[in-house]
Amino acid sequence: MNMKRNGDWMEWTIHEEWTKIPLQELLKTTLRAPKALLHEWRMNKQVKVNDENPNWMKPLQVGDKLSIELFEKETDPVICEKHPIDILFEDDHVIILNKPIQMNTHPNEKGETGTLANALAYYYQKNRKKIKTRHVHRLDKDTSGAVVFAKHRLAHSILNQDLIERKMKRTYVAIVHGKMKKITGTINAPIGRDRHHPVRRRVSKAGQQAITHYEVINYCKELDCTVVKLTLDTGRTHQIRVHLSSIGHPIMGDKLYGSKNGHIKRQALHAENVTFIHPITGEKLEIHAPFPNDIKNLLSTC
């Protein structure tokens, strides 16, 4: 695909496969622009063909230049706060950060600071980029690892849909108490709120469907713990923590869900890998997030 950025615009040179349907249908089905965004583009004249306002019902021709004003200058309500960030991947459309522990992914109320989004907002400001911080997914405060942010509305919409359709794959590593008997397995148990606790979740017949797949990586006899790799078919709050606790193997350090010892000061859970199709280029991306020191130290014991 021949494409390039030109200021606030993204430009595509049209090839034969993009000439068979009207422009409006091309933007909707091939570029996957949502209806509301398409309407804005049309009203604000943010789509051009050969630098002119196009006929939206007419197919494009081979060699035409399609231009879309993707990179709007935006005001972000998230407060800028200086804090180092660990960038795993960045281009004009997506940025992926390795979230540290003791940090929320984004503010939960107006004016909140101390989150990964605050640090990203500062990074944007420092680099004179007027971009809103748009997280695609989030991690618990004390879960470390890869978090994906989109840099414009089209990328955000596409990645959100891919997340819903489970086309974005996230792999976690956890260190749990005890020796898991099965090398691989699936935990299929609905999760709901715990009526007796404001934060905790629990397995509940009245809860939402939740499916977690696991694979044992290693058993550590010295600490009587198992290193396990996990993927999710659903994205419920505290899903991995609840599911592992429900089968008698709470995550080390996770006092909320049954951990008793002090080998680590938070739940030993890390979002190690995220794999997805780039929303604009179509390239397959597989991004790895290195372990933080506390999990490295635990693993070194094994």
State the catalytic residues: 140
DSSP 258-285: T----SSSS--EEEEEEEEE-TTT--EE
Could you tell me whether strands 144-150 and 269-277 are parallel, antiparallel, or unpaired per DSSP bridges? parallel
Residues 6+ apart with CB under 8 A from 129: none
Q: Provide φ and ψ at 224, rounded to 5°.
A: 50, 60
Q: Could you tell me which residues are beta bridge partners of residue 215? A: 184, 229
Dihedral angle sign, alpha carbons of residues 183, 187, 193, 196:
negative
Q: Which of 118, 113, 108, 128 shows the shortest CA–CA distance to 84?
A: 118
Task: Read off the tokens for 11.
Answer: 């430009």
196 Cβ contact partners less than 8 Å away, ≥ 6 residues apart: none
| Cβ density class 52-62: b for 16+ within 10 Å, e for less | eebebeeebee
